[in-house]
Structure 1
Amino acid sequence: MNPTAMGGGPARVLVVDDLEASRFIASSWLRRSGHTVVEATTAAEALTALETESFDLVLLDVHLPDMSGYDVTERIKADPRTSSIPVVMLSATYIEPEDKVTGLLRGADAYLTEPVDPGELLANVEAALRYHRARALAEHLAARLTRLTTATFAINAAMTFDALAEAAAIGAADVLDADATAALVSPSGVVCLATANARQANRPRPDIGEVERWMSLLNPGVGVTVVEEVPWARVTAALARTKPRRSPICIAVAPESVTSDGDRNLLRQLAQATALAAEGLHTFAEEHSLALTLQRSLLPRTLPHEPELPMTARYVPASSNAEIGGDFYDVIELDGRMLIAIGDVCGHSIEAATIMAEVRHTLRAYAVEGHRPAEILRRVDTLLERFHPTGGLTTMCLLLVDLEAGTMAVANAGHVPPLVIDDRGARYAEVKGPLLGVGLDRPEATELPLPRGTTVLLATDGLVERRGIDLDEGMEKLRAAVSHTDDMDELADRLLAELGQGKQDDIALLLLRRRA
């Protein structure tokens, strides 16, 4: 049903009758009432017209030369393209009650017998149109609300500002059946711009510089404001913001798609949903930045400068988590030796970060007192078991490097073992031990040679673990990815790029190399 008929007023009516006189009379009555009439003399002509043109009602004679009007009605109602068109059947031959029953059961919306009063004919036509207009309008609104729900879901599911702009543009194009543009400002001040074409019109994308200049001058109030024109295109735009100092978002559509209060309300709802989703992303970005700043403040600001033992470290927070975690590393200088630690307190929370800071400070205290690596682990284990019996499970690996002797004593507590890389390849040191916080016996440190030119990689499990993949497989991927000849900074960056993307856990990584 076309929009005019949906809203009331004159309709397009197909009159099907093989008798010219009957067809002329019915058509004349309809035309005098303001309707547009198309005439057909056979069922074949009628079905062809219905395939190629749009009609709001069919006035159909039951007795046609090539097909029964009953069969034509069934064909109309069986086709999804025409099933909603009301059919008023008219007959001077089939006038018995059972004929009317047959017509109505086979899909007719009304059944009249001739001779028929013009008032009765027009009243039945108007009644059929009124019912189907109301039904079509209800279906149209329901479909729009369904598309609005789908668009809102996609908007709220967007994880980045670029994805949010794209979801908003696609949603507006779908809901309002119009070419749409969405623009918003990311926390870094960059304008994210997306367009969507509803009719494959391929309209040119607005100049992002012009949009950026316009948005920088905007200062609408909190809420949603609809403007009828913007300097960069002929559009109707909805501006929405959630806080006075927050940059507004903009959704713009072709003005011909916003012709009613309902259209305008849909545009406002889309803009409001986008602004709320943008606020959520802004809050997440702010919390993530704060968490990352706090996490980094708990890690060493710099690494000791030892010409004979250069080293580099990296810390990368989980990509989808705004909370702080318990991953850490530390390097402690001890009278000609170097104690290097890497560890991970289980969980992502303020509690995990607090325990991590406590473990790190305790580790430093015991190291300064001169305890052996295995003894340090025993004492940290006792502390965690006593003061954090439910949330203090921690893995840690300690390396006590003696450059003069060319050795490293390795004590491991449930952590990924050190990866040793030299001209013979890469291999994991065979050092094991239970994690901390469970009170189990643990072995003494294993003393390993550290020849000149040897590189040692320490990492938390965030680098090797991936959902659905065995830990051993992840460790083997890491082993295969390292190279003895790589510059350590380049190696660290490459490993994070190849193995650290999209991880659900933090990653701490430390590389050291005894100078050749």
Structure 2
Amino acid sequence: MNPTAMGGGPARVLVVDDLDASRFIACSWLRRSGHTVVEATTAAEALIALETESFDLVLLDVHLPDMSGYDVTERIKADPRTSSVPVVMLSATYIEPDDKVIGLTRGADAYLTEPVDPGELLANVEAALRYHRARALAEHLAAKLTRLTTSTFAINAAMTFDALAEAAAIGAADVLDGEATAVVTSPSGVVRVATAGARRPDARFRLDNADVENWMAALNPGVGVTMIEADAAPWHPESPVTAALARTKPRRAPIGIAVLPSAVAGDDDRNLLRQLAQATALAAEGLHTFAEEHSLALTLQRSLLPRTLPHHPELPMTARYVPASSNAEIGGDFYDVIELDGRMLIAIGDVCGHSIEAATVMAEVRHTLRAYAVEGHRPAEILRRTDLLLERFHPTGGLTTMCLLLVDLRAGTMEVANAGHVPPLIADDQGARYLPVKGPLLGIGLARPEATELPLPRGTTVLLTTDGLIERPGMDLDEGMEKLRAAVSHLDDMDELADRLLTELGQGKQDDIALFLLRRLA
């Protein structure tokens, strides 16, 4: 059914009758009522016309020379392209009630017998059109609502502002069946513009973000959704647009979804555009909140880590901390360096979980570590005492891994104690290898071994990391450890090495990464 007929008014009617007089009379009545009429004299002509043209109703004689009107009706109703077209059957030889029953049973929407009164014919035509127009409108709106639901899911699933703009534009183009442009602004103030459904090769413009930002600001929408009719937009300077602008907070940059006025045929379409804009604004608010929480969490996390590392000419060191890429919560990864009268205690650890509780335990572990180190306890004893503290005060949320290195440059040694952590990786002119130092994690009260004292020759590089660098879903931990081992050389500049490892092994990880490198110079 064509859009004009869906909205009411004149319709395109196919009149099929082999009798010239009957066909002429019916066509005259329909044309006087404003309908457009196409004539056919056989079933074959009618079926060809239905394949090549669009009709809103078929007025069909029951007795055609080449096929029964009943069979033609069944063909019309069986074809998905014409199944919704109403068929009014007209018979000059109707005698038995069963004939009418057969016609209606085989798909006719009305059955009339000649001679028929003009008023009766037109009334039946209008009734059939009215019913099928209402049904077509309902199906049309239901299809749009289904696409709206799908689009809303995609909008809410967007994880970045670029993806949100694209999802909103694609959704609007799909729901309203036309070109659509979506505009969203990231927390940094960068305007993201996406266009979808463009039917012209020149429909995509290289936009100046400032022009889009100024255009949005000039419209000055309030909180909520505002419908705008604009003479032009930066991406459509030659034609007017209909736009829905939405804002969730007074000081929040609005989002906008704009379409050509032809895509908004009535109130239903305007409401659909309004709902899309509202869904996009709420999704943008969620992304804003996530970004703000992530920034706050990262600031707090970094405040719990050493601001600077000690400078020692014989033992340069560098460290990196990278938060999980998909998690706004605070993690429990940490590293620390404590200078102790010519020796240096280096620690790296990971409190299980991502939460305020994990960060709180991490801060407590760091302060405890420092206190025990200042008191003069050796690495193994520090781990024992920390284990007791966690077991007593954090029995359910204090599971922690930690590795301690006590470096003595005068003796040229390092004392290593490990509590369930990734073992230190040593790189020298013999290659790279993990130290065979093990022990149970902290917080479970198990007996733990004494520290292992090892030489630290000149030219040796030591790498400490948390498991976020080597773990990946679907990959064995040993495989991740081997990838790291193969990527480390004692000849690399340590800052360049740290950055390269994060680039090659740390992208898109779901866990925080703490990385610490030290080297005893030759």
Q: Which residue of 2 aligns with 1:309?
A: 315
Does residue 89 of structure 1 match 2:89?
A: yes
| 8 Å CA contact retained: 2:222, 2:250 | yes
SS of aligned partner of 2:387? helix
Find the counterpart in structure 2 of residue 366 from structure 1. Answer: 372
The residue type paired with residue 342 of structure 2 is G
Query: Deviation of residue 231 (structure 1)?
Result: 4.4
Structure 2 partner of 1:235: 241
Q: How many residues align?
A: 516
**Do the aligned residues in 2 keep the contact of 1:193 with 1:208 (CA within 8 Å)?**
no
Q: Which residue of 1 aligns with 2:457?
A: 451
Letter matched to residue 288 of structure 1 = H
| CA RMSD between the two structures | 1.5
CA shift, 1:140, in A, is: 0.9
Q: How does 1:436-515 map to 2 (within 5 A)?
A: 436-515=442-521
Instruction: For structure 1, list consecutive stretches of 5 or more residues without a partner in the other structure.
Output: none
The one-letter amino acid paired with 1:71 is D
Q: Corresponding residue for 1:185?
A: 185
Alpha-carbon distance between aligned partners in 2 of 1:344 and 1:152, rounded to the nearest angstrom: 39
CA distance in 2, matches of 1:84, 1:200: 32
* Counterpart Cα distance in 2 of 1:448 and 1:66: 102
Are 1:287 and 2:293 matched, yes or no?
A: yes
Deviates more, 1:80-89 or 1:198-207: 198-207
SS in 2 for 1:228: strand
Q: Which one-letter code corresponds to 1:466 in the other structure?
A: R
Whole-angstrom CA distance in 2 between matches of 1:484 and 1:140:
68
- Deviation, structure 1 residue 94: 5.1
1:148 aligns with 2:148: yes
Letter in 2 for 1:133: R
Which residue of structure 2 aligns with residue 226 of structure 1?
227
Structure 1 429/51 Cα, relative in aligned 2: closer, same or farther at 3 Å?
Answer: same
Paired with 2:93 and 2:498, the residues of 1 have a C-alpha distance of 91
Q: 1:407 aligns with which of 398, 406, 413?
A: 413
| 1:67 Cα deviation from its structure 2 partner | 2.1
- Match of 1:187, SS state, is coil
Measure how far apart 1:508 and its partner are: 0.7
Length-normalised TM-score, structure 2: 0.96
User: What letter is aligned with 1:98?
Assistant: D
> Counterpart amino acid of 2:227?
V
CA distance in 2, matches of 1:21, 1:487: 99
Contact 2:195/2:204 (8 A) holds in 1: no
Superposed displacement of residue 98, structure 1: 2.2
The 8 Å contact of residues 410 and 431 in structure 1, kept in 2 or not, is answered as yes
Q: In 2 relative to 1, CA 466–76 (structure 1 residues): closer, same or farther, beyond 3 Å?
A: same
Whole-Å separation in 1 of the counterparts to 2:377 and 2:416: 14
After the TM superposition, which residues 202-351 of structure 1 pair with which residues of structure 2 at under 5 Å, given as runs? 203-205=203-205, 207-209=207-209, 210-229=211-230, 230-232=232-234, 233=236, 234-351=240-357
Mapped pair 1:23 → 2:23:
yes
Deviation at 1:490, TM superposition (A): 1.6
Change (3 A) 1:81 1:199: farther
Displacement, 1:483?
3.1
CA contact (8 A) 2:413 2:453 kept: yes
Any idea what the Cα deviations from partners look like across 1:249-277, whole Å, max 9, x if unmatched?
11110011123222222211111111111
1:439-479 Cα deviation digits (max 9, x unpaired): 10000111222222221111111111122222222222222
| AA of the residue aligned to 1:196 | A
Distance in structure 2 (CA, Å) of the matches to 1:203 and 1:397: 59
Is residue 69 of structure 1 aligned with residue 75 of structure 2? no
Q: Within 2, Cα distance between the matches of 1:255 and 1:208?
A: 24
- Whether the aligned pair in 1 keeps the contact of 2:332 and 2:358 (CA below 8 Å) is yes
Equivalent residue, structure 2, for 1:13: 13
Following the alignment from structure 2 to structure 1, what is the Cα–Cα distance between the partners of residues 348 and 413? 18
Task: Tell me by how many angstroms 1:139 deviates.
Answer: 0.6
Deviates further, 20-29 or 388-397: 20-29
More displaced, 427-436 or 148-157? 148-157
CA drift of 1:214 comes to 2.1
Structure 2 residue runs without a partner (length 5+):
none
Counterparts of 2:450 and 2:398 in 1: how far apart (Å)? 22
What secondary structure does 2:184 align onto?
A: strand
CA shift in 2, pair 1:24/1:475, >3 Å = same
Q: Distance in 1 between matches of 2:93 and 2:199?
A: 48
Q: Which stretch shifts more, 225-234 or 429-438? A: 225-234
Report if aligned partners of 2:198, 2:204 keep a CA contact under 8 Å in 1. no
Contact 1:197/1:203, CA 8 A, preserved across alignment? no
TM (norm. structure 1) is 0.97
**Deviation, structure 1 residue 152:** 1.2
- Structure 2 counterpart SS, 1:277: helix
Q: Please, which of 354, 377, 380 is the counterpart of residue 383 of structure 2?
A: 377
Cα separation, 2, equivalents of 1:65 and 1:348: 80
Q: State which drifts further: 476-485 or 362-371.
A: 476-485
